[in-house]
Chains A and B, each alone.
Chain A
Amino acid sequence: DAGITQSPRHKVTETGTPVTLRCHQTENHRYMYWYRQDPGHGLRLIHYSYGVKDTDKGEVSDGYSVSRSKTEDFLLTLESATSSQTSVYFCAISEASMGHNQPQHFGDGTRLSIL
């Protein structure tokens, strides 16, 4: 398995509180991604990073921010959590050397419940 660790694995919090999810990789891959997975919607891209301090928005970025200060860490922050952000969040990584033909390697997810 690719060296990807997501933390926490489970979290329950209240509406309006800030939440930060962490993705840590040991593969030194350039690209890192945050997805959310919801029934009926499949996997949707929130934000991604193509290098340290280089990030871009995905399909469902509203209400989320990200930061990447080191190659190995990619943080996803919900500034003020809402119940609609209850989901399972997945981090993924991929190499840059293969150009556009890039398989992604996924962590095991963070199950976030916002009450």
Chain B
Amino acid sequence: SQQGEEDPQALSIQEGENATMNCSYKTSINNLQWYRQNSGRGLVHLILIRSNEREKHSGRLRVTLDTSKKSSSLLITASRAADTASYFCSTQGGSEKLVFGKGTKLTVNP
């Protein structure tokens, strides 16, 4: 299976701090995506990084990808209470299907 596994399972930080979440996977991929899920809502796409890319930025988000280690990290800088959510990585190999990890639950305390 090429399922992504997020680490840590839960993370609690203070507003203004940076939050880093990691994702590891097992097989070769075309791309890796990060999603956010607020409580009671569907997943929202944050960022997609292709297998030939090493780093990508979007606002306060920074994603890195290391295909040699089969891992990715999501950094949220200057976190806000509104960033409180669960974050999922998903990998996509040779088909249209995404395979999701179990998520990291981030709590940002005001």
Mark A residues whose CB is within 8 Å of B.
4, 31, 33, 35, 40-45, 48, 50, 58, 90, 92, 94, 100-109
Point out the residues of chain B lying under 8 angstroms from A41, CB to CB.
102
B45 near A103 with CB under 8 A, answer: yes
A109 near B42 with CB under 8 A, answer: yes
11 further contact pairs, Cβ within 8 A, besides A92-B43, A109-B42: A42-B101, A42-B102, A44-B100, A45-B98, A48-B97, A90-B43, A101-B30, A102-B96, A103-B45, A106-B43, A109-B41
CA distance in complex: A90, B98 (Å): 14
Instruction: Tally inter-chain residue pairs, CB-CB below 8 A.
Output: 57
A100 near B100 with CB under 8 A, answer: no
Point out the residues of chain B lying under 8 angstroms from A102, CB to CB.
92, 96
Partner pick for B42 among A42, A50, A90, CB 8 A cutoff: A90
A106 near B30 with CB under 8 A, answer: no
Q: Which chain A residue has the least Cβ–Cβ distance from B97?
A: A45
Point out the residues of chain B lying under 8 angstroms from A44, CB to CB.
100
